[in-house]
A and B are shown apart, each in its own frame.
Chain A
């Protein structure tokens, strides 16, 4: 069934509501200002590590995207509720057959170096990702061509209907619009040029990245003069920096202190929000006895998720038995597994399994997997399963995962928006990240259908069915959605914690 839907009309309303008029902001510069709100200043932010590089199409590190979020724009971008809204594109229409999307670009947008950003730059950026097979090229699987009939129009032609195209083109800054000359000179690695609210002004390797306000920005001008990101690996040290006033913002807080800081942080505000990340236990179905659904279900019944979340995240998480958290419009309420060791033992008996030893692989890259593993080992001991925990560094962990050399592993998937991102690559037979060798033809059919179903209600039903089957089969045993936890000093105003972990400083002011 195809129903032409004029998304543009809806968007026009959204735009009117958002009062999107570029360049109508009053520029409050520091001249003659005696301090107080909007007096500019530089915000110091401590992040947990250093970006590997600043080319948005080539990096995969969250540290890079924390910086690049403030430097680059995408065609569309997720709002606070993660619905895709306008950014460089102000409106878009879809053809009746759903195979052609036409985007209208904002007029007069400039890169931070002053050169104009046109539809040619959008075409260049997408073609770079596709032709060089860069990290995000999988998002363009159904894209046949990207063309620029005029400077403010971009046409994306598809091989089949792609209802999640907006999430693919704007979910995060990995699909940002870059400047050709900046790419060709190689400067993009350390001095990227974007059209976002701030521009990279300096980069001291190993120490910090300095951003300054982009005066060519098309949106409301940021009040901050700049943002300085420093790289502090140790959360205790990062918190000391925040308390001592060396930094005014950090997301690297010691988890065991978060609850106390929220209660009584003194000069520090700590806020958290449920994230769209999920953490899970995967059992290797390519190995006996984990190919038996009863064994997997037994393990799902043996786990006490509350205790696991408490140990791993000190309560900074919400337990969940499916992937998509409450609060997302794609959430499906389904929790068939209560903590029931008797039921677990009975299922193991049914499967004829006794005296099982399970090899569980975790990584120091994500310390929460190490703590969760200890608790899981204790809980599984209750039902007669001996857990051998293997703690590896991440590079080695990835190797073992790729080779299928594990009985079970713990990990999370981060920054998901569309349900396809939550389920397809992990549970479709033979998909890229289906390392645990799950295969169910019914689920395959549902996941394939969800990719092309354009009616939102029907699409929701499809993913609900897929989610239910995946949980019943215990393909992944879902554990919890962690909170995004960030802290900032009382001087910072206008900052909002976002569930997709995007760090946006464009609306932030600093009282000095």
Chain B
């Protein structure tokens, strides 16, 4: 077990190394000059040259990359072109907002998807089953930003129940944090809920068809006990994986919703960094998200092995 985890961690480092290289090379291909963007509309050539030199963009690419990796190994991800702040500080400042949004979204999604998925599997073919399928079709088809805007217009505009945008830290004022997080988390969580509903449904259906379930039923156990004790325990194993992957992808991917709701998370940071061609911040944000992904995957594998004795860690 320990050996497995260590080996995986080592692999992760290699993957992250690859990520830095790919991102660095991709940024070279993306048109757009960070110095021009930073200077805006009025400056002279001397100013341009001076800033280019200060940002280290005048050095050869290989030198730029090697110095970046060298510093990254010591935990120094460089400084932002735009603000001059250390990238590590910037990304860490933005993580809590994104995590609180992603976790809330996934919890809301589970709250809907779990009962809906299980019920539509157990009562496969019923009206409820059809309704659940329509819901998940709707959820994956509707863009989250549209849901977000509709939510703002209805709950903030017409009804005035919720603030339309903005952020209050959970640690600062939980009640106000909750009122701010509801709309964006719902907009994001709808897609997640749809995916999870389908997944839970098919996973439960699969287990219901297993031999041991028939055995349990033949023993004369009541249907509810069968479902709860035998089916759910086994059906939820693959669901854990999907939830973890969804969570990881939300941390890296709630860009549009964060921009719409003025939510100060990593997604919005990434968006702004792309707009400004702030390479160090962009590289740092991608690296953080990739690391989180790898960590999540490792956790899932370990958890999986714990839940399902048929799987051994090698």
Contact = CB atoms under 8 A, between A and B. Distances in A.
A244 interface: yes
B229 to A, nearest CB: 47
A215 to B, nearest CB: 26
Interface string A389-432: 00001111011101000000000011000000000010000001
Interface in B142-193: 149, 152-153, 156-157, 160, 163-167
A189 B85 contact: yes
A138 B48 CA distance: 11
A398 B264 contact: no
B140 to A, nearest CB: 24
Contacts, number: 144
Task: Sort chain B's interface into a size bin.
Answer: 35 or more
Given A52-B38, A60-B39, A133 B165 contact: no
A432 B265 CA distance: 37
Contacts of A53: 82-85
A232 interface: yes
B44 interface: yes
A50 interface: yes
Contacts of A452: none
A234 interface: yes
B292 interface: no
A231 to B, nearest CB: 6
B82 A206 contact: no
Contacts of A425: 42
A29 interface: no
Contacts of B34: 395
Interface in A221-242: 230-234, 236-237, 240-241
A232 B165 CA distance: 8
B33 A402 contact: yes
A395 B156 contact: no
Given A189-B83, A232-B165, A244 B160 contact: yes
Interface centre among B34, B84, B262, B275 (most CB of A within 10 A): B262
Given A236-B149, A240-B157, A190 B83 contact: yes
Contacts of B46: 133, 137
B225 interface: no
B201 interface: no
B260 interface: yes
Contacts of A50: 272
A387 B40 CA distance: 28
A207 interface: yes
Contacts of A402: 33, 36
Given A60-B41, A189-B85, A414-B41, A237 B164 contact: yes
A77 B37 CA distance: 27
B90 interface: yes
B177 to A, nearest CB: 12
A61 B85 contact: no
A395 B43 contact: no
Interface string B68-112: 000000000000001111000010011001000000000000000
10 contacts: A52-B38, A52-B276, A132-B50, A138-B44, A205-B269, A237-B152, A240-B165, A396-B32, A398-B32, A399-B36
